[in-house]
Amino acid sequence: MVDVVATLRSARVVPVIRHDDPGVALEACELLAAGGIEALEITTTVPDAAGIIADFRSRFPSICVGAGTVLTTEQVEQVISAGAEFVVSPCWSDEVARALLDARVPYLPGAMTPGEVLHHASSGATLVKVFPAEAAGGPSYLKALKTVFPDVALMPTGGVTPANAKSYLDAGALCVGMGGNLLPATALEVGNTTVAVEQINSALTAVFSQDTKN
């Protein structure tokens, strides 16, 4: 089994794929793979998310693929069968947590308050997703959380951009979840792959050109 914490620490940025057209979502995944990403999250709000996870994993086995917006045991069963290597929820779900602990699949539930962070970390979460990160207070809020929870791995998501990603990482984030900036929906919807690639590469360059990873 993949060491998800180590993998996400190395990845630094986890693209969050969310779109109502599965073709657009899959193409975004393919372009991100070509761009060199190490991990990504495909949300269950994408039609046939499990099918996309299975397809992508079969063709890009070196990339760590997780499932997002998982809220029911039925969804857990679907994404695990498809090969999801970690599961993300916007908040804690007892039924999802039980199913994932039984299956020994890493759970990354969302939290906003210190109490939620403590609950999730104490209840078996592999990593806690701070969501919505920017609305909660941004990098300074994440830094405050890390002050009192130095041993809890945190992944801020929601409002993370190429311009502020490094601030989150410097504040103590294990990695960051990033959505719209890494899914150039408008370009992909009209079939403009060239522009989509440029937008993805520009976003990744903006993050990693500031990166201090050794």
Helix axes 193-208, 22-34, angle to 10 degrees: 50
Catalytic residue from among 41, 85, 134, 166: 41
Instruction: Give the C-alpha separation, 59 to 80, whole Å.
Output: 17
Confirm whether 129 is a catalytic residue: yes
Question: What Å distances lie between residue 187 and 27, 38, 197, CA to CA?
Answer: 11, 23, 9
Catalytic residue among 30, 95, 116, 129: 129
Active site residues: 41, 129
